[in-house]
Amino acid sequence: MAELETLIREMVLPTSTLKPLRCEANLLSKKDRPNIAFHKSHLIFCFSRPEANHAKIKYEQFFHCFSEFLSAKSLPQELVIEFKIIYTLFRVEGFNGYSVDFKVCGYGESPDKARQIANIGYAHFRKFIAEDDIKYNFR
């Protein structure tokens, strides 16, 4: 999945606002609907600065900004994006805080189409986190 891989590569850079914690991607089909494939992926991430992960409201503000960003876009009906704030134990840093389980699912009549749809979601997220306002306000 090209966009997800590119996003993760960008997130591990020292200048990134976000840090990936875990990622998983699967290509699935349902037994009751064999003509439809779906590409489901999870990306769990947090803010790069550890102190920013203490406040849940920072993630709520981030989600609000992302929602506004997406509202101006034309998104396919076959794309599902879920943004779930989760309570997280940061063992290395030694504190409890928050992170996000960011799920993207693309549906299509073929595995390639499902991947293309999911890539649209990640492409928009990459554009969103590349904006200067986001880099400044959530760094």
User: What tokens does 125 get?
Assistant: 């997220």
Cβ count within 10 A of residue 58: 19
Confidence of residue 137 (pLDDT cuts 50, 70, 90): confident
Domain ranges of the chain: 2-9+23-137
CATH class of 2-9+23-137: alpha beta
Q: pTM here?
A: 0.88
pLDDT of residue 135: 72
C-alpha to C-alpha distances, 50 to 8, 47, 62, 101, 139, nearest whole angstrom: 18, 7, 16, 17, 10
Range of 1-10, 26-35, 92-101, 113-122 with top mean pLDDT: 113-122
Burial of 75 by CB count in 10 Å (0-12 exposed, 13-18 middle, 19+ buried)? Answer: middle
Q: Which helix (H) or strand (E) holds 30?
A: strand 18-30
Q: What is the pLDDT of residues 65-103, one digit of tens each?
A: 999 999 999 999 999 999 999 999 988 777 899 999 999
